[in-house]
Structures are given as C-alpha cells and as structure tokens.
C-alpha cells in the first residue's frame, strides 16, 4: 500500500442489509439500498441485493451507468431530479425517479412518449426539511396536471427528512405523508406502488413501533454501509455491524512536539484561527491524508489512545501519546468514517 485506502467488508454490508430487510418485511416495507456513499460500486450493490433489498437507489448517472454496465439489472431508483439535458438517459436507464418539478415531469413525459414508454415517478412532498418537494397545499393541482400526461405514471409518493434541514421523521410528519398518498390515490383512482417514508433516519420509528401504517418503502444507505452509527446515536441497533467501510493511511512522521504552536498566531491555510491548549510535550504522528481527501471532522481512530488534532490539505495530525504500542513510521492507522467522511473519501482520486 502506498497511500490512503478504503477497505470495504462486503460480508458486513450483506448482513446489515439482510437484518434491515427482514425487520422491514415484518411491517410490509420494501427496502431500496442506497449505493451513492460508495460511488455506485457494483460489488456493494450486489452485496445489498444478496441481503434482499428490492432495488438500488442512486443519485449520479455515472454510478448508474457503472451499475448497468456491470450487469446489474435490478430496479434502480434515481434519487435526484435530472437536468433537462439528461432526461432521455433517465427514461432509458432507471425504473423510477424522484420528481418534484412540473417542468421536468412534463419533459420526462414527452421523451418517454417519443420512446414508446411510460416512466414511473415518485412525487416528492416537502414536509419541512426543505431539501426538495412540492408543498402539501400544491399536491392536488400538481397531481391533476401530471395525470393529464401520457408518458409518466405516479408510482409513488415520498419525502426526504433528516438531510438539509435536519428535520427528523416523526409519527406526525410521516402520518401526513400517508394521508397525502391516500389523497393521490383517490384522485387518480389507482393504488400507489410506493409510499416512501424516507431514509435510514426513519428506522428508529420502525424499531419503536411508531412508523405510521401505510408506509411501504424506505431508501437505506447509512444503516447498511455503516451499521447505523449515525442513525442510532443513543441506542445502537445491536444486530447491525459497524465498520463495513474503514479508512487506513500511512504514518509518515512520529515526533515528540510541543502541543501548542510557537510564534505569532494568524490564520491557517483554510482561513481559520485555531486555538490550541498547552498540554506540554506530546508524541505526535502525521498520516498521509488531509482535507483534500476526506472530511477530517468525520474521522474516529479505531486504535485506543489515538486522537485527531487537525489537518492541512495533505497532512493529518494525530496525538499518539497514549497509544499502546505507539505507532512507528510505516505503520498503518485505521479510522471509522462518518457518512460525510465516507462520501468524500470515496470520491477522492487520491484514496484507493
């Protein structure tokens, strides 16, 4: 190994998927496995499918193309509305897409009709997180206009929570989603395939028995890829396995150094004015990874006695005074990653 590397345990991913799928099935819920955290790696998608997910959910066309080129023919859900220039690719490569903008839906219908197809959409409703979706007051007129289009079918109603606005799923807001779905069914005269109650963050309600009846789909990534370390912060789901994705990097320097920089303090390379406590001399190590590669704040060293101090663009500084045994130059150091850290590490061309 010559640089930072993400190691992926496909067995853990498969087992986590199976645990979640089996529990969801007891409540009549089908799971789509979200692979965007690993850039749509076909190996990860196959592990999720072996674990029983009903389909794969992705946000990037490059990842979807990678999945299809690898021979994966499972249903694929597009998580992000496409630009107008790529609508034909949506109709051609995905089975259902999340939509909230009438102009895009009209173009999807036009292209699908031209291709002799009907494209399934999941109409997204904004229940307060403010990422995407139509307002509930606009549901009826929006559905009426979509029903007049011949090239698209409203296959589901969904929402996004716990993302941009950090608004968590509750019995109240997901109950509203179910009510909006029933309104849509009455208006269209057809039963919806999907009422999609969000992502990993909705699993807490499921385990507590408080997920509203009627929800039959969840889009799950973090809980499968990371064992729910961010979803279940206070009470972990014991059957889920963490550390399916680990980051490792090389130690390139180990020295006893003062804990507080010496000289006149100013701004660092990122425009910040850091403050350092004076803890005397400490054994410090440098790993060959930095802010150009990963979200440093999302790294947790796996070895005891190792603490992240900070980073420049290329260097990660660690306090290893309490590590047993202390690391040496050439050793590898391993980290758990937050979901944000995993996203950046997987997309960095400098991380294997």
Q: Is 295 left (phi over 0), alpha (psi -120 to 50) or beta?
A: beta
Which DSSP category does 221 fall into?
Answer: S
Residue 336: helix, strand or coil by DSSP? strand
Distances (CA, A) of 318 to 122, 195, 285, 288: 46, 46, 5, 11
> Does residue 90 contact residue 120 with C-beta atoms inside 8 Å?
no
Active-site choice (36, 150, 183, 255): 36
* Domain locations in the chain as residue ranges: 9-225, 245-347
pTM, two decimals, is 0.93
Return the CATH architecture of domain 9-225: Alpha-Beta Barrel (3.20)
> Does residue 231 contact residue 200 with C-beta atoms inside 8 Å?
yes
Query: What DSSP element (H or E) covers 109?
Result: helix 102-114
36 is catalytic: yes
Per-residue pLDDT tens, the chain, 352 aa: give them: 578 999 999 999 999 999 999 999 999 999 999 999 999 999 999 999 999 999 999 999 999 999 999 999 999 999 999 999 999 999 999 999 999 999 999 999 999 999 999 999 999 999 999 999 999 999 999 999 999 999 999 999 999 998 889 999 999 999 999 999 999 999 999 999 999 999 999 999 999 999 999 999 999 999 999 999 888 887 889 999 998 999 999 999 999 998 888 888 888 777 888 888 888 999 999 999 999 999 999 999 999 999 999 999 999 999 999 999 999 999 999 999 999 999 999 999 999 9
> Does residue 25 contact residue 266 with C-beta atoms inside 8 Å?
no
Q: The domain 245-347 belongs to what CATH superfamily?
A: Lyase, Ornithine Decarboxylase; Chain A, domain 1 (2.40.37.10)
């Amino acid at each position: 190994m010559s640089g930072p590397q993400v190691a992926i345990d496909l067995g853990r991913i498969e087992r986590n998927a199976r645990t979640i799928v089996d529990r969801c099935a007891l409540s009549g819920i089908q799971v789509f496995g979200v692979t965007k955290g690993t850039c749509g790696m076909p190996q990860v998608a196959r592990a999720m499918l072996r674990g029983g997910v009903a389909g794969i959910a992705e946000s990037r066309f490059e990842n979807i193309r990678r999945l299809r080129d690898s021979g994966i023919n499972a249903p694929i859900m597009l998580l992000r509305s496409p630009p107008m220039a790529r609508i034909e690719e949506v109709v051609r490569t995905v089975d259902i897409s999340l939509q909230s903008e009438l102009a895009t839906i009209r173009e999807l219908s036009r292209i699908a009709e031209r291709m002799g197809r009907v494209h399934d959409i999941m109409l997204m409703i904004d229940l307060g997180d403010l990422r995407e979706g139509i307002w509930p007051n606009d549901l009826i007129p929006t559905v009426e206009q979509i029903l007049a289009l011949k090239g698209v079918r409203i296959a589901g109603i969904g929402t996004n929570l716990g993302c941009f606005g950090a608004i968590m799923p509750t019995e109240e807001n997901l109950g509203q989603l179910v009510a909006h779905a029933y309104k849509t069914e009455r208006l269209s005269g057809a039963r919806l395939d999907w009422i999609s109650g969000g992502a990993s963050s909705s699993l807490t309600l499921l385990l507590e028995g408080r997920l509203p009846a009627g929800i039959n789909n969840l889009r799950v990534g973090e809980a499968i890829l990371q064992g729910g370390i961010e979803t279940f912060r206070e009470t972990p789901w014991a059957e889920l396995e963490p550390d399916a994705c680990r980051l490792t990097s090389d130690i390139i320097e180990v020295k006893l150094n003062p804990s507080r920089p010496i000289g006149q303090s100013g701004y660092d390379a990122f425009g910040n004015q850091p403050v350092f406590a004076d803890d005397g001399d400490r054994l410090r190590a440098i790993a060959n990874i930095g802010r150009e590669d990963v979200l440093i704040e999302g790294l947790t060293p796996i070895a005891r006695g190792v603490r992240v101090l900070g980073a420049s663009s290329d260097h990660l500084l660690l306090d290893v005074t309490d590590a047993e045994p202390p690391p040496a130059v050439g050793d590898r150091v391993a980290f758990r990653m937050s979901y944000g850290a995993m996203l950046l590490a997987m997309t960095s061309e400098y991380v294997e």
